[in-house]
Amino acid sequence: MAALIIRSPLLSILFYYVLATAVAAAAAAAASNVTSDEEYWAERAEEARANNRAAYVSDPIAAMNRFNTETLRATTRRSLRRYQGPCAATNPIDSCWRCRADWATDRQRLALCARGFGHKTTGGAGGKIYIVTDASDDEMIIPRKGTLRYGVIQGRPLWIVFARDMVVRLRQELIVSDNKTIDGRGAQVHITGAQITLQSVSHVIIHNVHIHHSAPHSGGIIRDSKRHYGLRTRSDGDGISVLSSSNVWIDHVSMYRCSDGLIDVVNGSTGITVSNSHFTKHDHVMLFGASNDNPQDRMMQVTVAFNHFGKGLVQRMPRCRYGFFHVVNNDYTHWQMYAIGGNKNPTIISQGNRFIAPDDPNAKEVTKREYTPYSEYKDWVWKSQGDVMMNGAFFNESGGQNERKYDQLDFIPARHGSYVGELTKFAGTLNCRAGKPC
Ligand SMILES: *[C@@H]1O[C@H](CO)[C@@H](O)[C@H](O)[C@H]1NC(C)=O
Ligand SMILES: *[C@@H]1O[C@H](CO)[C@@H](O)[C@H](O)[C@H]1NC(C)=O
Ligand SMILES: *[C@@H]1O[C@H](CO)[C@@H](O)[C@H](O)[C@H]1NC(C)=O
Ligand SMILES: *[C@@H]1O[C@H](CO)[C@@H](O)[C@H](O)[C@H]1NC(C)=O
């Protein structure tokens, strides 16, 4: 507040009047009618459900096959040769943009590059470029112009970029509205302190940022969009929390050491891709489906591709409930307990990954079924195809033996796991310079 420079005394009085009124109204709302915020979010969830239904695909095998076909095509010797020199895009997402010297002046091209279940995600495409110039995060109700929080609550599509290297220390969860891209290319941007929340929204891209040391917060009055602010209860300290949202793409992020999960996808969210990212130093990595009591998570369709699950990870890469999960061409170099797990009959298709088991003889199994007897989980469709198993790693398959629906003959094989080193070579944040291929 003190840093705000307002030259006209009249404007200044007006500004403080508006602010005081907002704070008073919010406090009154919080004291007397908390349920209006609950109603607001219930309404938002209801609206989001229509978008989520539209993002859901009735034939996930076809979507999976399309992903694999594109990867095979983009990684033939011939197409890889085209990207030699300073640029070395090694998978179809990267080869869509990284080898172009004009990425900084044509940033929105990225919106064409998503693959997998989140492939339709356009983020802030079609909107203006908004430049974050101010790393602070002091105002939760009327965020200051120039901050990240000001950008993410705007009511129109916006492509958010950063003026320089910066560390944005969030004071409370950052609530992102529809049609936004957070694009950290060209700078080293760290987002820390609290979680990024995507609640009942669609079309969000989070790209090329470091996300770490997110902590829980007790909540308070926070603006979530141009037209609304209200009382938020506790946030858990996830890295990114995706609730009842669709068309979300998380690409080239580096994530570590958050309080809760690194990425949670819950409450019927669908149409999601997590790609090219680097995860380290964390226990609960990714939770897809938070509760046995959320059968609406059957709609969940998530692609996890070209990621590197690295040093210091323990479990949940991911842990799944109910939905359909294509886990393809990832490099699993470290886990302490297990890599992929879940319960409540999720469908997990693991293709072309590399699994390097830890030395612990009790942690060689890639998979883990939580709290379920064999008599029940034998029917869950968990398939491994073209995965590379190292240091004693093994994937315990189940289900589908008699089920035409998941006959492996219907699967187009992914690029084999022996290529994973190449495919994930640039996982995590990149160091892009304007005017040069990245
Ligand atoms: C709380 O807010 C809702 C919706 O704005 C309204 O319908 C209701 O009457 C309010 N209740 C109280 C006690 O003010
Ligand atoms: C948000 O993006 C979607 C998909 O590109 C588009 O259909 C929709 O109109 C956009 N919303 C706004 C407010 O522009
Ligand atoms: C999650 O889904 C349940 C059931 O559909 C709903 O009641 C609840 O409001 C949702 N929560 C959020 C945060 O969207
Ligand atoms: C693998 O799964 C089968 C059933 O599909 C089970 O009988 C067996 O114990 C499992 N193996 C290990 C090592 O967990």
Which of the four pLDDT bands, split at 50, 70 and 90, describes residue 368?
very high
What is the Cα–Cα distance from 30 to 144, expressed in whole angstroms?
23
Decide if 4 is inside a domain.
Answer: no
Decide if 38 is inside a domain.
Answer: yes
- Best probe residue, ligand 3, of 244, 245, 300 (max atoms within 8 Å of C-beta): 244
Q: Which two tokens stand for residue 217?
A: 């917060």
Alpha helix positions (H), 59-168: 60-74, 77-81, 92-95, 148-152
- Kindly state the percentage of the chain with pLDDT values over 90: 84
Ligand 3 atom index nearest CA of 200? 14
Compute CA distances 147 → 167, 193, 199, 394, whole Å: 12, 15, 20, 47
Decide if 253 is inside a domain.
Answer: no
Nearest to 286 by CA among 332, 329, 322, 339: 339
Beta-sheet strand order (sheet of 347-351): 128-132, 158-162, 180-183, 202-207, 246-251, 270-275, 301-305, 324-328, 347-351, 382-385
Provide the pLDDT for residue 28. Answer: 56
**Centre of ligand 4 from the C-alpha of residue 375, in Å:** 11
Q: Domain tally for the chain?
A: 2
Q: Are 239 and 261 in contact (CB under 8 A)?
A: yes
Which range has highest mean pLDDT (2-16, 172-186, 390-404)?
172-186
Question: Which element (helix H / strand E) includes 46?
Answer: helix 35-55
Q: Is residue 168 located within the same domain as residue 296?
A: no
**Centre of ligand 1 from the C-alpha of residue 22, in Å:** 18
For the stretch 261-298, pLDDT in tens is: 999 999 999 999 999 999 999 999 999 999 999 999 99
Q: Is residue 402 located within the same domain as residue 363?
A: yes
46 lines ligand 1 (CB under 6 A): no
Q: Are 366 and 340 in contact (CB under 8 A)?
A: yes
Q: What is the mean pLDDT of residues 345-358?
A: 97
33 lines ligand 1 (CB under 6 A): yes
- Best probe residue, ligand 4, of 378, 380, 396 (max atoms within 8 Å of C-beta): 396
* Pairing mode, strands 286-288 and 263-266: parallel
371 lines ligand 4 (CB under 6 A): no
- Please confirm, yes or no, whether 144 is among the known catalytic residues: no
Q: Which domain holds residue 310?
A: 59-101+261-429
Q: Is residue 97 located within the same domain as residue 124?
A: no
Last residue of a domain, one of 206, 241, 276: 241
Active-site option among 316, 319, 321, 369: 316
Cα-based torsion angle of the residue sequence 71, 74, 80, 81 in order, rounded to the nearest 10 degrees:
160
Question: Which element (helix H / strand E) includes 42?
Answer: helix 35-55
Q: Is residue 299 located within the same domain as residue 347?
A: yes
What is the Cα–Cα distance from 251 to 361, expressed in whole angstroms?
33
Q: What is the mean pLDDT of residues 87-104?
A: 91
Which of the four pLDDT bands, split at 50, 70 and 90, describes residue 84?
low
Q: Report which bound ligand comes closest to the CA of 401.
A: 4
Measured by CA distance, the residue closest to atom 13 of ligand 1 is 33
Burial 429-438 (b: 16+ CB within 10 A, else e): bbebeeeebb
Decide if 281 is inside a domain.
Answer: yes
Nearest to 123 by CA among 178, 79, 57: 178
Q: Are 232 and 195 in contact (CB under 8 A)?
A: no
Q: Is residue 210 located within the same domain as residue 74?
A: no
Q: Is residue 236 located within the same domain as residue 313?
A: no
Q: Is residue 150 located within the same domain as residue 183?
A: yes
What is the Cα–Cα distance from 331 to 315, expressed in whole angstroms?
14
Provide the pLDDT for residue 77. Answer: 72
Q: Is residue 89 located within the same domain as residue 24?
A: no
Average pLDDT of the chain to the nearest whole number: 91
What is the Cα–Cα distance from 286 to 346, expressed in whole angstroms?
14
Measured by CA distance, the residue closest to atom 8 of ligand 2 is 179
What is the Cα–Cα distance from 361 to 137, expressed in whole angstroms?
47
What is the Cα–Cα distance from 153 to 370, expressed in whole angstroms?
38
Decide if 113 is inside a domain.
Answer: no
108 lines ligand 4 (CB under 6 A): no
Compute CA distances 15 → 11, 20, 26, 75, 437, whole Å: 6, 9, 16, 56, 45
For the stretch 179-201, pLDDT in tens is: 999 999 999 999 999 999 999 99
Measured by CA distance, the residue closest to atom 2 of ligand 3 is 267
Q: Is residue 167 located within the same domain as residue 303?
A: no
- CB atoms < 10 A from the CB of 32, how many? 9
Decide if 246 is inside a domain.
Answer: no
Ligand 2 atom index nearest CA of 178? 1
Provide the pLDDT for residue 22. Answer: 60
Q: Is residue 167 located within the same domain as residue 287?
A: no
Provide the pLDDT for residue 4. Answer: 40
| Cα 296 to chain centroid, rounded | 20
Nearest to 240 by CA among 207, 263, 269: 263
Decide if 13 is inside a domain.
Answer: no
Q: Is residue 85 located within the same domain as residue 34?
A: no
Ligand 1 atom index nearest CA of 33? 1
Exposed / middle / buried, residue 67 (Cβ in 10 Å: 0-12, 13-18, 19+): buried
**Centre of ligand 1 from the C-alpha of residue 36, in Å:** 6
Q: Is residue 268 located within the same domain as residue 221?
A: no
33 lines ligand 4 (CB under 6 A): no
**Centre of ligand 3 from the C-alpha of residue 246, in Å:** 14
Measured by CA distance, the residue closest to atom 9 of ligand 3 is 42
Domain containing residue 37: CATH number: 2.160.20.10
Look up residue 61 and give its DSSP letter.
H
Which of the four pLDDT bands, split at 50, 70 and 90, describes residue 44?
very high
What is the Cα–Cα distance from 334 to 416, expressed in whole angstroms?
20
Look up residue 239 and give its DSSP letter.
S
CA angle 207, 90, 352 (to 5 degrees): 95
What is the Cα–Cα distance from 313 to 257, expressed in whole angstroms?
10
- Best probe residue, ligand 1, of 32, 35, 43, 227 (max atoms within 8 Å of C-beta): 35
Ligand 3 atom index nearest CA of 244? 14
